[in-house]
């Protein structure tokens, strides 16, 4: 495994083959990622592996709420309340790239709604991972869990799998915790779709650009 190449190969996949993912592969990802660093080795992450009928039940309820106009109530604020440059422009360009690839016009509100609703089915991936941490944890544990998530995504490539990390699932913590039996005072961080990429799907054909390192790096000597 060439880490430098794998980092560049990783992408968010939004269409998956109708092909089961072996639990042994999921466990291999989690075992590898469990070696991610964390402050004082506290390992704050908790993971729910959701598939089959449980996944169908969960995504059906969430998608229904979404289509009814209920946008949920996340445990934490993921995005800024007020967007500033350059982050606002990057966000706009990210969405535009996907919609342009799919030829979804700006005024086609139904197709845009349908595309967003696909988030809550984990883009029909066979496996959905959901990530939690105890409410007693502080900001540092978000950093720890981020490194854990990245480790899973890189390990997935080694196993021939594709992923899409999804903050969208954090919008509906009450439903998810109730369905899976997690305490309501835990923090639902995000979800992650896992499966085999449908390489023929149009939505998987584009790549979001990255800023040149000169735009975010300063050197001191």
The H-or-E segment that residue 189 falls in is strand 187-195
* Per-residue model confidence as pLDDT tens digits over 85-109: 999 999 999 999 999 999 999 999 9
Cβ atoms within 10 Å, residue 46 = 16
- Eight-class DSSP state of 98: H
What is the pTM for the complete model shown? 0.97
Nearest to 135 by CA among 98, 172, 175, 188: 188
* Per-residue model confidence as pLDDT tens digits over 159-199: 999 999 999 999 999 999 999 999 999 999 999 999 999 99
Residue 168 and residue 71: Cα distance in Å, rounded? 10
Mode of pairing for the β-strands spanning 162-166 and 46-50:
unpaired
The H-or-E segment that residue 91 falls in is helix 87-101
- Percentage, residues of the chain above pLDDT 90: 100
Beta-ladder partners of 195: 162
The arrangement of secondary structure in 13-77+121-202, i.e. its CATH architecture, is 3-Layer(aba) Sandwich (3.40)
* Per-residue model confidence as pLDDT tens digits over 30-54: 999 999 999 999 999 999 999 999 9
In which order are the strands placed within the sheet that holds 127-133? 46-50, 127-133, 187-195, 162-166
pLDDT over 90 at 215, yes or no: yes
The mean per-residue pLDDT over the stretch 145-168 comes to 98
């Amino acid at each position: 495994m060439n880490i430098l190449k794998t980092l560049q190969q990783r992408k968010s996949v939004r269409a998956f083959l109708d092909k089961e993912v072996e639990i042994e592969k999921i466990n291999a990802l989690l075992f590898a990622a469990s070696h991610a660093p964390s402050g004082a080795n506290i390992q704050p992450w908790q993971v729910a592996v959701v598939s089959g009928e449980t996944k169908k039940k969960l995504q059906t309820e969430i998608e229904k709420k979404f289509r009814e106009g209920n946008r949920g109530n996340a445990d934490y604020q993921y995005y800024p309340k007020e967007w500033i440059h350059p982050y606002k422009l990057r966000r706009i360009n990210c969405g535009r790239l996907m919609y342009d690839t799919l030829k979804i016009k700006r005024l086609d509100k139904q197709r845009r709604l349908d595309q967003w609703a696909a988030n809550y089915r984990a883009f029909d991936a066979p496996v959905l991972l959901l990530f939690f941490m105890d409410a007693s944890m502080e900001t540092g544990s978000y950093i720890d869990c981020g490194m854990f998530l990245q480790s899973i995504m890189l390990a997935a490539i080694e196993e021939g799998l594709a992923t899409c990390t999804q903050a969208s699932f954090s919008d509906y913590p009450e439903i998810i915790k109730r369905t899976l039996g997690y305490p309501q005072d835990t923090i639902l961080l995000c979800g992650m779709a896992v499966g085999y990429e449908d390489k023929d799907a149009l939505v998987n054909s584009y790549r979001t650009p990255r800023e040149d390192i000169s735009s975010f790096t300063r050197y001191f000597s």
